[in-house]
């Protein structure tokens, strides 16, 4: 306690008092003048120190925050670009579908095209079905939890969405979309860092899965099947919020970017399967 007591009770340098006593003994005033050049130099030095420190310490973080702001700006730019192009692609696809139906005079062919377009997800669909809303557990979702790693349990993972979607297909879903992104045969649900990515587009919470299917059978089949079990486990074990809402008329948008870049259909000539033989899946 001596240390604390002396620190608290006598914080002033004893040398000030000693110097004052010495001067008094010599017959001079106890305090020296405030105009001594030494004092001026010292104060200028201290001011310089404070000024330099404040400048240096505030600018030390500047390049980093600047780069961060630039990156955020870039992300927002690109995101709005993607949004614009997505809507453009949707419009063009709609036009394409219209033109196709116009040109295909043959009813059988037109019907076939329409069926295929419906099946692969080239046209928006609507019908009965239900929406599943998944969200992170209430405690999680903050940045601290994301960086803590250990507290990450309450977050919705790509695995969860994959499982739920597969269970939806399994129990008879005819069309599925996540946060307004139609799932097709080439869709991928992945993790990129801590963000959920569907078809290379990051999603934001909450995750709304819309599935269309037979109103009598489909919701019950899902709830009774593996998907329902999985969701109730998520809810009870990790506190993930799950809401199910059955509806008579839901809309699922058309998929964007249904083109293939390298794979071609067999009719173009140099492809291997000869006309007449049906191409069989070799590896699956």
Partner 1 sequence: MIPAIGLSLGIIIGLLLQPAVPVWLQPYLPIAVIAALDAVFGAVRAILDGIFDDKVFVISFLSNVIVAAFIVFLGDKLGVGAQLSTGVVVVLGVRIFSNVAAIRRHLFDA
Residues forming the site for partner 1 (CB under 8 A): 7-8, 11-13, 15-17, 19-20, 23, 30-32, 34-36, 38-57, 60
Cβ closer to partner 1: 55 or 191? 55
Cβ closer to partner 1: 54 or 111? 54
Cβ closer to partner 1: 65 or 280? 65
Distance between CA atoms of 195 and 166, rounded to whole angstroms? Answer: 20
Q: Smallest gap, in angstroms, from Cβ of residue 75 to partner 1? A: 31
Distance between CA atoms of 204 and 207, rounded to whole angstroms? Answer: 7
Cβ closer to partner 1: 54 or 233? 54
Q: Smallest gap, in angstroms, from Cβ of residue 57 to partner 1? A: 6
Cβ closer to partner 1: 1 or 34? 34
Cβ closer to partner 1: 27 or 281? 27
Q: Smallest gap, in angstroms, from Cβ of residue 31 to partner 1? A: 5
Distance between CA atoms of 211 and 167, rounded to whole angstroms? Answer: 11
Q: Smallest gap, in angstroms, from Cβ of residue 55 to partner 1? A: 5
Q: Smallest gap, in angstroms, from Cβ of residue 243 to partner 1? A: 46
Q: Smallest gap, in angstroms, from Cβ of residue 65 to partner 1? A: 17
Distance between CA atoms of 198 and 158, rounded to whole angstroms? Answer: 9
Cβ closer to partner 1: 16 or 200? 16
What residues have CB less than 8 Å from 232, skipping those under 6 apart? 242
Q: Smallest gap, in angstroms, from Cβ of residue 39 to partner 1? A: 4
């Amino acid at each position: 306690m001596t240390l604390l007591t002396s620190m608290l009770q006598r914080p002033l340098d004893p040398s000030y008092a000693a110097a004052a006593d010495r001067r008094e003994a010599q017959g001079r005033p106890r305090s020296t003048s405030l105009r001594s050049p030494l004092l001026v130099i010292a104060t200028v030095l201290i001011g310089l120190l404070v000024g330099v420190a404040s400048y240096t310490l505030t600018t030390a973080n500047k390049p980093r925050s600047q780069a961060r702001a630039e990156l955020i700006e870039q992300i927002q730019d690109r995101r709005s670009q993607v949004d614009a192009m997505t809507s453009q692609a949707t419009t063009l696809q709609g036009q394409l579908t219209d033109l196709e139906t116009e040109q295909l005079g043959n009813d059988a062919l037109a019907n076939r095209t329409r069926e295929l377009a419906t099946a692969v997800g080239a046209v928006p669909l609507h019908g009965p079905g239900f929406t599943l809303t998944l969200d992170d557990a209430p405690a999680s979702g903050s940045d601290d939890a994301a960086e803590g790693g250990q507290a990450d349990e309450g977050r919705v993972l790509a695995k969860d969405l994959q499982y739920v979607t597969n269970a939806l297909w399994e129990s008879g879903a005819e069309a599925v979309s996540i946060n307004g992104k139609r799932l097709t045969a080439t869709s991928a649900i992945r993790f990129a860092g801590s963000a959920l990515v569907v078809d290379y587009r990051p999603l934001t919470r909450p995750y709304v899965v819309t599935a269309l299917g037979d109103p009598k059978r489909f919701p019950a089949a899902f709830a009774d099947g593996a998907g329902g079990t999985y969701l109730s486990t998520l809810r009870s074990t990790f506190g993930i919020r799950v809401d199910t809402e059955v509806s008579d008329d839901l809309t699922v948008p058309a998929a964007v970017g249904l083109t293939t870049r390298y794979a071609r259909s067999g009719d173009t000539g140099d492809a291997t399967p000869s006309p007449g033989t049906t191409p069989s899946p070799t590896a699956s």
